[in-house]
């Protein structure tokens, strides 16, 4: 009995020793420094004299933990400096609270007044501090040109023609060393986006105001559009990239593309008696030059006798081809013919010059 009790006492001891060996703690881990990972997707875009910076708000620390104790985000700027080596090498132009619940953040700043030559630019970077004003270094760096672009004087004028919407802007060139283009941008009423419908290089004497015409030939009749003219600059940066940016812009002007324009008048109308063949009634065949208007529907043919002042329309539906055969003619009569063109919206041209032909007796 004593031997059996001794064996039973040994089993719990072995189990306890086994459990104790598995639970031995490893070496202690250092505490997190709570340093935010540097921003890696900083972007910059220029519109006019405003520069918009945007980035993704950091959520992780450099050691993979959640970035909890957030401090300030510092925006660092350097003028005509290709790279910023640290905040001591640039001007901190703004300090923002790092948002806790936003995925993205942005900030708006202005083009520096002292940096407007054709080759001038600025470099931006960010530092994201924790609540102890410590950080893991600068973000990626972005550059944006700051050259002065040409001025647009007042609102543009517009004119609706049969072939295009004409928009005329008055511009004053500011910097001959900067590549600049005038763009005509159009948005349809009720649509959120605009498209560029015309471009023209800005090549005017420096400092002299002049009118520049832009044409929109892709508009659609019976729609309402908003147009604006934008000066677009293009500059090469030290990092090897070419940045295209919007400079000055006019306010939008509204154009209602209501078609009140008839097609061109048909030309070179000819009338020829075709004779009487194999028992067929006599006829007069008409031809004319086709009208090339893009919204042409067809043609109407009119006829009168020499002693008549009014004309008779010979076809009630528009002809789609520039030809017609008049079989309702009588021997011995002379007929005078004219032709008009009509478009998709019912605008009819004036009648052509008359062509005459006689039916032999």
State the CATH number of the domain containing residue 104. 2.60.40.10
User: What are the helix (H) ranges across 126-266?
Assistant: none
Task: Give yes or no: residues 157 and 244 share one domain.
Answer: yes
Beta strands in 141-283 (DSSP E): 142-145, 151-152, 157-160, 165-172, 179-188, 195-201, 210-216, 224-236, 242-249, 253-256, 267-273
What was the pLDDT predicted at 27?
A: 63
Res 244: pLDDT = 92
The answer to whether residue 13 is domain-embedded is: no
Domain total of the chain:
3
The answer to whether position 37 is within a domain reads no
| Residue 111, domain member (yes or no) | yes
The predicted structure's pLDDT at residue 212: 95
User: What does the DSSP assignment read for 14-42?
Assistant: HHHHHHHHHT---PPPPPP--PBPPP---
SS (H, E, C) 138-153: CCCCEEEECCCCCEEC
* Rounded Cα gap, residues 357 and 289, in angstroms: 18
Q: How confident is the model at residue 15 (pLDDT cuts 50, 70, 90)?
A: very low
Question: How many CA atoms lie less than 13 Å away from 271 in the CB half-sphere?
Answer: 22
pLDDT value, residue 33? 79
Residue 15 lies in a domain: no
Overall pTM > 0.85: no
Closest alpha carbon to 257 in 221, 293, 216, 214: 221
pLDDT at site 160: 97
Mark which of 145, 161, 188 sits at the end of a domain: 145
- Helix, strand, coil in percent for the chain, rounding step 5: 5, 45, 50
Tokens of 130: 């924790």
Phi, psi of 205 (to 5 degrees): -60, 140
Could you tell me the two tokens for 34?
A: 């709570």
Name the pLDDT band for 4 (thresholds 50, 70, 90). Answer: very low
- Same domain for 233 and 314? no
Domain boundary among 222, 256, 290: 256
What is the chain's Cα-based Rg? Answer: 40
Query: What average pLDDT does range 181-204 have in this prediction?
Result: 92
Residue 262 lies in a domain: no
pLDDT at site 85: 84
- Whether 39 contacts 139, CB under 8 Å: yes
Residues 68 and 141 grouped into a single domain = yes
| Domain co-membership, 298 together with 240 | no
Check: CB of residue 147 under 8 Å from CB of residue 120: yes
In angstroms, the CA 231 to CA 182 distance is 5
Q: Enumerate the β-bridge partners of residue 300.
A: 340
Reply yes or no on whether the pLDDT at 6 is more than 50: no
87 φ, ψ to 5°? -65, -20
Residues 89, 119 within the same domain: yes
Using 50, 70 and 90 to split pLDDT, how confident is the model at 7? very low
Residue 109 belongs to domain spanning: 43-145
Going by C-alpha positions, the residue among 265, 294, 300 that lies closest to residue 162 is 294
**pLDDT given at position 322:** 98
Share of the chain above pLDDT 90, in %: 71
Name the strand (E) or helix (H) holding 164.
none
With a pLDDT cut of 70, the percent of the chain lying above it is 89
pLDDT at 50 over 70: yes
Token pair in block for residue 327: 């079989």
22-45 per-position pLDDT tens digit: 445 556 556 667 899 999 999 999
In angstroms, the Cα distances linking 204 to 119, 174, 201, 231 are 20, 10, 9, 13
Domain annotation covers residue 17 = no
State which H helix or E strand residue 335 sits in: strand 334-343
Residues 227 and 323 in one domain: no
Residues 243, 287, single domain; the answer is no
Is 234 part of a structural domain of the chain? yes
Residues 279, 350 within the same domain: yes
CA–CA dist 227, 160 (Å, integer): 13
CA distance 39 to 318: 67
Question: 281 and 243 in one domain?
Answer: no
Between 223 and 117, name the one with better pLDDT. 223
Enter the DSSP assignment of 178.
S
How distant, in Å, are the alpha carbons of 29, 66, 156 from that of 63? Answer: 12, 9, 57
Question: Tell me: the pLDDT tens digits for 214-267?
Answer: 999 999 999 999 999 999 999 988 888 899 999 999 999 999 999 999 999 999
Asked whether the predicted pLDDT for residue 11 surpasses 60, the reply is no
pLDDT, tens digit (0-9, with 9 covering 90-100), for 257-302: 999 999 999 999 999 998 766 667 899 999 999 999 988 999 999 9
Residue 331 forms part of a structural domain = yes
């Amino acid at each position: 009995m004593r031997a059996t009790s001794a064996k039973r006492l040994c089993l719990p001891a072995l189990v306890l020793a086994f459990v104790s060996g598995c639970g031995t703690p490893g070496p202690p881990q250092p505490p997190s420094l709570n340093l935010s990972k540097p921003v890696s997707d900083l972007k910059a875009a220029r519109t006019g004299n405003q520069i918009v910076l945007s980035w993704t708000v950091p959520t992780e620390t450099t050691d993979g933990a959640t970035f909890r104790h957030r401090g300030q985000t510092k925006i660092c700027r350097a003028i005509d400096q290709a790279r910023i080596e640290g905040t001591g090498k640039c001007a901190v132009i703004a300090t923002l609270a790092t948002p806790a619940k936003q995925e993205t953040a942005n900030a708006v700043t202005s083009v520096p007044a002292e940096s407007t030559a054709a080759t001038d630019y600025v470099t931006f970077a960010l530092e994201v501090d924790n609540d102890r004003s410590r950080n893991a270094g600068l973000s990626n760096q972005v550059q944006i040109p700051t050259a002065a672009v040409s001025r647009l004087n007042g609102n543009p004028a517009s004119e609706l023609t049969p072939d295009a919407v004409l928009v005329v802007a008055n511009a004053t060139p500011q910097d001959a060393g900067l590549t600049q283009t005038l763009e005509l941008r159009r948005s349809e009423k009720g649509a959120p986006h605009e498209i560029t419908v015309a471009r023209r290089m800005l090549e005017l004497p420096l400092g002299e105001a002049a009118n520049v015409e832009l044409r929109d030939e892709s508009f659609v009749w019976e729609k309402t559009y908003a147009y604006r003219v934008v000066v677009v600059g293009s500059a090469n940066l030290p990092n090897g990239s070419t940045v295209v940016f919007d400079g000055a812009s006019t306010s939008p002007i509204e154009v209602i593309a209501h078609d009140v324009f008839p097609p061109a008048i048909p030309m070179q109308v000819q009338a020829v008696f075709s004779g009487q063949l194999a028992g067929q009634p006599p006829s007069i065949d008409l031809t004319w030059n086709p009208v090339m208007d893009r919204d042409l529907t067809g043609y109407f043919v009119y006829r009168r006798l020499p002693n008549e002042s009014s004309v008779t329309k010979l076809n009630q539906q528009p002809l789609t081809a520039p030809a017609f055969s008049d079989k309702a003619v009588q021997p011995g009569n002379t007929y005078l013919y004219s032709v008009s063109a009509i478009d998709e919206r019912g605008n009819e041209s004036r009648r052509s010059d008359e062509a005459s032909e006689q039916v032999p007796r």
